[in-house]
Chain A
């Protein structure tokens, strides 16, 4: 499986994400924000955490309009896989590949700690390694993770089983305790928690490793 990890000025989880992909058996290419094309044969694009463009204007807004993101958007729109974590989730909502927006945490504080999540659906390549209802521990580190979406869209996310993860104890005010959502075709996942920071024992937890392992396994079969 070929993964492309996009690097924006201010990305700081790009190498962690690349390491997690590699550990799962992927070939990883790092792609610069000024590139206009993804490497040929890219199966999945990883949009990493960090503070792209200093979070200027709005988190993810400038990254979402960078040259590479036009290619990422096209990749997503033609059914390619895209995984956006933290700032990557913010970029995905700004590109319109995922609905809603991520606002300032309700408590106004930057939160950096491990939180409990519930896997809300196992029906995606990302969550296939879990059972719906599994409780996992994954770190969060964000100031703007307050997922906000219109009532109709929230109802649709629930109805279509597109909520991937929920917080066990809502840390940031997100609608519906949402920590991660899927696109309508279930191939784009955006999530605020960092599975790549819980991918090996040395990191203090391995609950995120299954996401990458099963992703690579499913794609290897494809």
Chain B
């Protein structure tokens, strides 16, 4: 089984990389891009029966830094 963990900077935390991407899109003529936030997706290949709680524990301990990041788990 697989799980996908989406990690994003929390709202309110400045994302300079997302901001640079926004500028670059503007430079390419894509008007109206009002904001870009860049995050990451971590794909986990798990033993069958692994619970979402276990994945949440992984997020809290390592995969996300909850001081600045939020995460969302998708169990596939």
A interface: dominant SS = loop
Number of interface residues of B (CB under 8 A): 12
B13 at the interface (CB under 8 A from A): yes
B17 at the interface (CB under 8 A from A): yes
B26 at the interface (CB under 8 A from A): no
A93 at the interface (CB under 8 A from B): yes
Q: Closest A residue to B63 by CB, please name it.
A: A57
The answer to whether B67 touches A101 (Cβ under 8 A) is: yes
B46 at the interface (CB under 8 A from A): no
Q: A108-B16, A148-B13 are in contact. Are A101 and B62 (CB under 8 A)?
A: no
CB distance from A51 to the nearest CB of B (A): 17
Q: Which of A94, A105, A106, A173 contacts B65 (CB 8 A)?
A: A94
Q: Which residues of A contact B20 (CB under 8 A)?
A: 108
- Give B1-59 interface residues, CB cut-off 8 Å to A: 9, 13-14, 16-17, 20
The answer to whether B65 touches A104 (Cβ under 8 A) is: no
- Give A81-112 interface residues, CB cut-off 8 Å to B: 93-94, 99-101, 103-108
The answer to whether B16 touches A173 (Cβ under 8 A) is: yes
The answer to whether B68 touches A103 (Cβ under 8 A) is: yes
Residues on A close to B: CB < 8 A?
A: 57-58, 61-62, 65, 93-94, 99-101, 103-108, 146, 148, 173
CB-CB nearest 8 A-B residue pairs: A101-B68, A101-B67, A106-B16, A104-B16, A108-B16, A108-B20, A101-B65, A58-B65
27 example contacts (A-B, Cβ-Cβ < 8 A) are as follows A57-B62, A57-B63, A58-B65, A61-B62, A61-B65, A62-B62, A65-B61, A65-B62, A93-B67, A99-B67, A100-B67, A101-B65, A101-B67, A101-B68, A103-B9, A103-B13, A103-B14, A104-B16, A104-B17, A106-B16, A107-B16, A108-B16, A108-B17, A108-B20, A148-B68, A173-B14, A173-B16
